[in-house]
Amino acid sequence: MSNNKLRIILQSMRLPFLLLTPVCVFLGFATAVSSGAEINTAVFLLALTGALSAHISVNTFNEYLDFRSGLDLVTQKTPFSGGSGALPDNPHAANAVLIVAITTLVVTTLIGLYFIYLRGLAIFPLGLLGIAIILLYTGWINRHPFLCLLAPGLGFGPLMVTGTHFALTGHYSWQAFIVSLVPLFLVSNLLLLNQYPDIDADKSVGRRHFPIAFGTGISNWIYAGFISLSYLIILLAVATGLLPKLSLISLLTIMAAVPTLIGVFKYAENVPKLVPYLGLNVAATLLTPTLLWVSLLVG
């Protein structure tokens, strides 16, 4: 493989966005440690590999399918939306990107099958739903507003966090499920706001995600509701003893979330002015679960 093709493949993987995966996997790791489980390092690394492969797969499928539909040619690119731009500039690499998407999906599937062998069929529904999201997200889920709104958060929240916890412990826990709701709402919000710059382009290829179907006005209120729920869950979990008091440090990210909320209501229709707030939203999405898993390990 040439260096140029490798560069295109890495660009299509959206490497900076992959940081979200270890953040969510470590949250599941932290709940497993908190439960008193003895952690097998090899099992943890395998779970992390499966999660990263899944994320790479959905990213590269998205890049390939958006290139084939022509969407990449009409999007207004920002650092957080519009695709990587790798394939429109290098169409000869499209098949290589598709091969990466399929290969990483196979890797994820094989790791999932191993965990079924190791832990039993109770983990099977999580794996099946995760594979369905990978395969259907770009071509089908994006045409159904409520599914598109919740699928990203479901993948990185309950599926990834509780899946990691189960892989490490062999059982589910209420703590793992409750904390998984935090990335559910934050990651759903992340994808929701990142769809704003692409509304016209997405509409032109038949997509019908939430901002297209209901407009940015209602989407802003969905964002406000989801961000409020993510912090409310943390407060209630600490108040009921499900999380240690140290977990309140994760509320510090309100300092990024509140300006984002104000900026979204003010600049939803003005992409250049909206972009800095998309960056703040990424910071809140990454730092909140990070502070949560740190508090669980330390507290």
Higher pLDDT, 164 or 87: 164
* Residues in a beta bridge with 81: 78
Judge whether 187 and 20 are in contact, CB under 8 Å: yes
Angle at 75 between CA 69 and CA 77, to 5 degrees: 135
pLDDT 10s digits, 177-204: 999 999 999 999 999 999 999 999 999 9
- CA–CA separation, 210 and 10 (whole Å): 29
* Residues in a beta bridge with 78: 81
- Percent of the chain scored above 70 by pLDDT? 99
For 229, counting Cβ atoms within 10 Å of its Cβ (0-12 exposed, 13-18 middle, 19+ buried), the class is middle
Structure tokens at 76: 């207004």
Please give the DSSP secondary-structure letter assigned to residue 74.
T
- CA–CA separation, 198 and 297 (whole Å): 39
Q: Report the predicted TM-score, pTM, of the whole model to 2 decimal places.
A: 0.95
Q: What sign has the CA pseudo-torsion 223, 227, 149, 270?
A: positive
Check pLDDT > 90 for residue 221. Answer: yes
Judge whether 284 and 186 are in contact, CB under 8 Å: yes
The pLDDT, as a whole number, for residue 164 is: 98
Residues in the chain, overall count: 299
- CA–CA separation, 73 and 88 (whole Å): 7
Structure tokens at 37: 């489980």
Check pLDDT > 70 for residue 1. Answer: no
The pLDDT, as a whole number, for residue 5 is: 83
pLDDT 10s digits, 8-18: 999 999 999 99
Check pLDDT > 80 for residue 84. Answer: no
